[in-house]
Amino acid sequence: MTKFKGKSVISINDFSRNDIIKILETAKKIENKKYKNLLRGKILATLFFEPSTRTRLSFESAMERLGGRVIGFSDASTTSAKKGETLHDTIKMVEKYSDIIVIRHNLDGAARVASESTKKPVINAGDGANQHPTQTLLDLYTIKKTQGKISNLKIAIVGDLKYGRTAHSLATALSLFDCELYFISPAELCMPKEIIDCLNERKIKHQEFEDIEKVIPLVDILYMTRIQRERFVDQNEYEKVKNAYVLTKEMLTGAKNNLKILHPLPRVNEIDSNVDETNHAYYFEQAANGIPIRQAVLCLLLGALK
Amino acid sequence: MFTFGCAKMKNETEESKIRRIPAIKQGIAIDHIPFGNAMKVLDILNIHQDKDSIITVGINLNSSKMGKKDVVKIENKTIKKQELEKISLVAPNATISFISNYKVNDKMIIKIPEFIDDTIKCTNYNCITNHQPVKTKFYKIENKKEIKFKCHYCEKNTSLEEIELK
């Protein structure tokens, strides 16, 4: 198993199944034991070059609840990046002021560049359309909590599978647990070939659909994602697909009793608010799971827990 | 100096008697280049700025191994590692012979390396390597059907046919 202290969390592809299990178990330990001052004296730098609500606040809350402190920015226009400073140079400066760095950036691969620019641990909070590993970890933690296991489940991932980094990371991670996957998207937004190739190599059963209603009765988890306006270069293309999937309470009539509906949030219109009152809705509880997961990652990387 | 040899179809007996590309005294010979790629190899070796080397090129030669091939011979030339890496991408499995006093001292097959450093551009427009001064790094992924290159930074794959050399 990986020794986590001093390492970075950049891509879910860097993790083995045992690494993921270790992080989930650590999160459960933290949630049960309510540690207070494990990270006292440590400073987290949050560098958000792209907008964020949940992820940024969740990292900041995770750090502060463990006794640590937070510095950083949530708007790159107020930083030297606007003057043309390279990411490498920004990280070389920030590493002097902090013990651990969290970064969200619009360019694919930015988090990897950041991790190579410093010896301090770096956590990827989302790099372009590439990876968002802590979102995947909290998604897996949520699945484990609601279903009692991760292995051998039937899981549907819906919406923007082409640009959705959470969809990419989750599909890749679930392939380590022998799940059967259902991908539901408009044809223009189907899962990229790299992900499909990875699933084929690992001999993971998967199917692609455009019709969500055929799949709902079959699955244990329905993972909804937003069609992301900000990823489209051509806004006309976005307008064609933005309302492709709207989940309503009526569509859940034939669903399994144990079905849980997840969403990385923010939702726009893909889950109708009348779904919130059903036993299947679990997206807000899912967001709350970000705290123990991010606390687990912070503690493991800083060596506060092993 | 350039000399060119371009082949026409002749019968096998006559073909075997004709020495299309003369032997060279000192330098390198790159054989089994896929037909049509000799000029790409010459571009990689930057020959239009090289006033010291004598270059001989054969295009569309018959090959028992490949059907058709190109050949390049360059006198008084040493080759750099990065040039070999680039040549491997336009002529995978070509052979390179190192010649001294008309004799082949060493011969090897040019293989695409497992790791390619600062040689290929990433075809993903949104990759950070296309926006900031970051040298590209790629890992070769090979199976029976195809060869692909995975970007170390954005993790997207590029096929051998799609690659652009830096």
- Compute the average pLDDT of residues A106-115: 97
pLDDT at B64: 87
Whether the CB-CB separation of A261 and A281 falls below 8 Å is answered with: yes
**Strand B67-75 relative to strand B54-63: parallel, antiparallel, unpaired?**
antiparallel
The β-bridge relationship of strands B157-159 and B147-151 is: antiparallel
Judge whether A267 counts as a catalytic residue.
Answer: no
Name the DSSP class of B11. Answer: -
The pTM of the full predicted model, rounded to 2 decimals, is: 0.87
When CB atoms are compared, the residue of B126, B128, B156 closest to A113 is B128
Asked if residue A87 lies in contact with residue A105, where contact means CB atoms within 8 angstroms, the answer is yes
* B156/A107 Cβ within 8 A: no
pLDDT per residue as tens digits for the range B117-153 = 999 999 999 999 999 999 999 999 988 788 999 999 9
Measure the CA–CA gap between A60 and A46, rounded to whole angstroms. 8
Q: Is A83 a catalytic residue?
A: yes
Please identify which of the residues A22, A42, A65, A104 carries the catalytic annotation: A104
From chain B, the residues in CB contact with A197 under 8 A are: 157
Q: What is the per-residue burial (b if ≥16 Cβ within 10 Å, else e) of B15-25?
A: eeeeeebeebe
Contacts of A166 (CB under 8 A, 6+ apart): A132, A135, A136, A139, A225, A264
Strand partners, A102: A46, A123
Question: What whole-number distance in Å separates Cα of residue A169 and Cα of residue A198?
Answer: 12
Residue A87 touches partner B, C-beta closer than 8 Å = yes
Residue B77 Cα, gap to closest chain A Cα (Å): 37
Q: pLDDT tens digits, residue range B29-77?
A: 999 999 999 999 999 988 877 778 888 999 999 888 889 999 999 998 8
Residue contact B157–A107, C-beta within 8 A: no
Residue B34: count of CB within 10 angstroms of its CB: 19
A11 neighbourhood in chain B, CB within 8 Å = 155
Is residue A26 part of the annotated active site? The answer reads no
- pLDDT tens digits, residue range A223-239? 999 887 776 777 887 78
Q: How far is B152 from chain A (nearest CA, A)?
A: 8
Mutate to test the interface with A, among B121, B123, B128, B144 (most CBs of A within 10 A): B128
Burial of A146 (0-12, 13-18, 19+ CB in 10 A): middle
Enter the ipTM: 0.89
Q: For residue A22, give the H/E element and its range.
A: helix A17-33
DSSP string, A111-153: HHHHHHT-SS-EEEEEETTS--HHHHHHHHHHHHHHHS--TT-
User: In the structure encoding, which two tokens stand for residue A13, read together?
Assistant: 């592809």
B60 and chain A in contact, CB less than 8 A: no
Say which range, A93-107, B9-23, B33-47, has the weakest mean pLDDT: B9-23
